[in-house]
Amino acid sequence: MIELMKYFRILFLSSKISRERFKAFCEDHIQRLTTNNPGGIFTGELTAVTNLYNIYFGDLASESLNQALQEGKTIAMTESREELENFISDGEKLVAYTYRNENDVYQEFFPQGITEYITADLPTYGTITKRLKDAPALHAADFTPAFITDYNTLQGTFVRNRNAQLAAKSAVAAEVSDMATSKPALAKQLTTNLLTIALRFVGDESKADVYFDQAILNAAFNASDIKTEGDLDPAETENVFDNSEKPENTFKLEVNGSGSEFFGFTADPGKPITLVTGKEVTGDGEAEYFTAAELGFTSEKTYLNVTNSNGVMVSYSAEKV
C-alpha cells in the first residue's frame, strides 16, 4: 500500500536522532546543497535551512552553557547548605544548654528540633534558616557577637547560592523553551528541502545520495539502541527504548532545566507514565540511575516510556550503561 500521509509529515524529529547526529546531518546537507545548486535553483532552500540551523544550534549552545552554569551553582549551593547545617547542628547544643531551663525560648530556635533543618526541602530550608537567623537577634545578649556573625554569614552565603542556582535554572528553561520552536522549524525546512529536491528529480533516486547522507540517519537509529534524547511538550509521552531484555539492565536518566519527567516500563509504547507507574527524575543537573526492574520492567512491559509532567517543554536523555 502507498502511504500518502507520510509525504505530509515533518521528518527528522525522532527522539532516536541525537542532537549530535542531527547537527551532523544538517551540516552535511547544507554542504551538499551548496555544492550541488546548479543555476541557483535551490538558493531559497539553502538560505532558509542555513538560517534555521544557526538559530537552533545557537539555542542549543546557549542551553549547554547555561546547563554547565546551573551545575556549578548547584554544587556551590549544596556545599553552602552543608556548611550551614554543620553550624546549626553545633549551635543547637549551645542553644539547648543556654536555655536548659527555658524550653519556651529554646522552641523559638528549634520548634521541631534539629531534624527539621536536616530534612527540609530547599524552599522550606530557606524559610526556616531565616527564622533561625531572627531568633539569636532577639536574644543577642545570650550569645557572643562572633556566633551571631558567623551564622549570618553562612546563612547569607546559602541564600545567595540558592538564588544563583534558581536564576541558572530559569536560564536553562528559557533556552529549552526556545528550542521547542527552533528545532521543529529546522526539521520542517529539512523536510521541505527533501520534497523540493525530490520534485525536481522525480524518478531519479540517485539524487537522494547527492543531497542527503542516509548513513548518518541509519547510524542514528543504530546508536539509539543505547542512547536516546528528546524534547517533550507538556503532558507529552515518548517511547525511549523498545529493545530491553533483562531486568538488571541499568539506565542513566537525566532531565535538563527546571521541572521533572516520569520514566517507566509499560506494555504500550504510547502509554503515559506517572509517579505510580514509574520513577520521577528532576532537572537538577544530576543524572539518576535505575535498573529496568526498578522502572517496572517485566516480560510483558518492555517499552521504556517518558512523560513530561510539567506545563513547559522539558528535554531529557536516556542511556543504557
Any idea which of 163-167, 224-228, 234-238 has the lowest mean pLDDT? 224-228
Strand 260-266 to strand 314-320: parallel, antiparallel, or no bridges (unpaired)? unpaired
- The DSSP code for 185 is H
Residue pLDDT, tens place only, 30-82: 999 999 999 999 999 999 999 998 888 876 666 665 666 667 777 888 899 99
DSSP string, 87-103: HHHHHHHHHHHHTTT-H
96 pLDDT more than 70: yes
Burial class (CB in 10 A: 0-12, 13-18, 19+), 61: exposed
DSSP string, 254-287: EEESSSEEEEEEESSTT----TTTSEEEE-SS--
Question: Cell numbers 534524547 correspond to what residue?
Answer: 229
pLDDT score at 42: 93
pLDDT mean over 157-174? 78
Sorted by sequence, the CB contacts under 8 Å of residue 70 that are 6+ apart come out as: 165, 168, 169, 171, 172, 285
pLDDT score at 118: 84
- The DSSP code for 308 is E
- The DSSP code for 40 is G
318 pLDDT more than 70: yes
Tell me the C-alpha to C-alpha distance, in Å, between residue 180 and each of 59, 77, 90, 113, 188: 10, 29, 48, 46, 13
- For 206, phi then psi, to 5°, come to -65, -20
| Cα 170-176-177 angle, rounded to 5 deg | 90
CB atoms within 10 A of CB 7: 12
DSSP string, 127-145: HHHHHHHHHHHHTGGGS-H
pLDDT mean over 172-186? 74
223 pLDDT more than 60: no
Residue type at 158 in one-letter notation: F
Question: Distance (Å, rounded) from C-alpha 22 to C-alpha 72?
Answer: 28
25, 12 Cβ separation under 8 angstroms: yes
Rg, C-alpha atoms of the chain: 27
